[in-house]
Amino acid sequence: MKKVLITGSSGQLGASLQLNDYDVMRTDIFPQGDQENFTILDITNELHVKNLLEAEKPDVIVHLAAMTNVDGCERNPDQAQLINVKGTENLLNSFSGKFIFVSSDYVFDGENGPYIEEDDVNPINVYGKTKLESEESVRRLSNDWIILRTNVVWNIGGNFKASFADWVVDELQNNRLIRIVADQWNNPAWTVDIGNVIETMIKHDGKGLYHHGSSRVINRYDFACMIANVYELNTSLIEPITTKELNQTAKRPLKCGLITKKLENDFNFNPSKTLSDIKAAKNN
């Protein structure tokens, strides 16, 4: 049975990754909830990473650990560089098996998305820059790699820090007014769908860069309204605003999103519909 080591496994995406047919080793900087086979691993600790990989000899690494708070990365670029770039390089320097790295549409500037894999990258914030730099490290330091770029990763019910959808449900359930940007466009990706793609990528040969997302690009305000409708919450509590008005610390790419044709061709991927995904998440 193949041994798969997951970094960042207590995070929003990691918690959804099941990988039933594998000997899975879950790692993260802090444990969360009940986790079988869990090992604490800070990817910035070069020696610990090296010792663990030499002792455990995984066949595959699914690398999810990252500093994902986009404004936090902007405020603390050294920390973002350390975790996102150096942490990735620490893993790559002690590993020669299959390396699956999850990256982001924030490697683009958002001028004319959605994007295909061949489009020019041009990150406009620290988070995007560190994700791009780690992609370059993956290409340079691994002979057996997949970079899976995805966008607006969401799940409902896990209460993760990075979960936009949970935040929307929670705020509306508490009758609080929320202001959501209507000019940031992406094709949001449900963690369960990304998990299925990663599992397929472990099973079947394949190498290279792939874009992942749902079937339609929507703006963040419409996404929030979709969530509210499925959860039968009051959409009038959601106010559309512009990115300029919101004035976030880090610049946001506006017209983003990822075209999934290559994933469809090479891995038989069938992009899901966000509305159906939200309904499925509610019934999960």
Ligand X SMILES: NC(=O)c1ccc[n+]([C@@H]2O[C@H](COP(=O)([O-])OP(=O)(O)OC[C@H]3O[C@@H](n4cnc5c(N)ncnc54)[C@H](OP(=O)(O)O)[C@@H]3O)[C@@H](O)[C@H]2O)c1
13 is a site residue for ligand X (CB under 6 A): yes
Contact pick of 1, 20, 30, 78 for ligand X (by CB under 6 A): 30
From 145-153, 221-229, 237-245, 267-275, give the range in contact with ligand X by CB under 6 A.
145-153
Contact pick of 6, 61, 62, 64 for ligand X (by CB under 6 A): 64
DSSP for 128-188?
HHHHHHHHHHHHHH-SSEEEEEE-SEE-SSS--TT-HHHHHHHHHHTT--EEEESS-EE--
| 281: CB partners within 8 A, 6+ apart | 155, 156, 157, 165, 190, 192
Q: Which of 14, 58, 57 is nearest to 32 (CA)?
A: 14
From 160-168, 173-181, 215-223, 256-264, give the range in contact with ligand X by CB under 6 A.
160-168
151 is a site residue for ligand X (CB under 6 A): yes
Question: Would you say 191 or 233 has its CB closer to ligand X?
Answer: 191
The backbone region for 37, taken as left when phi is positive above 0, alpha when psi lies in -120 to 50, beta otherwise, is left
43 is a site residue for ligand X (CB under 6 A): yes
28 is a site residue for ligand X (CB under 6 A): yes
Task: For residues 226 and 180, give the distance between their C-alpha atoms in angstroms, rounded to a whole number.
Answer: 13
As measured in angstroms, the least distance from the Cβ of 186 to ligand X is 9
Q: By Cβ distance, which residue is nearest to ligand X?
A: 11
Task: For residues 36 and 30, give the distance between their C-alpha atoms in angstroms, rounded to a whole number.
Answer: 14
113 is a site residue for ligand X (CB under 6 A): no
Residues within the interface to ligand X (CB under 6 A)? 7-8, 10-14, 28-30, 41-44, 64-68, 83, 87, 102, 104, 131, 150-153, 160-162
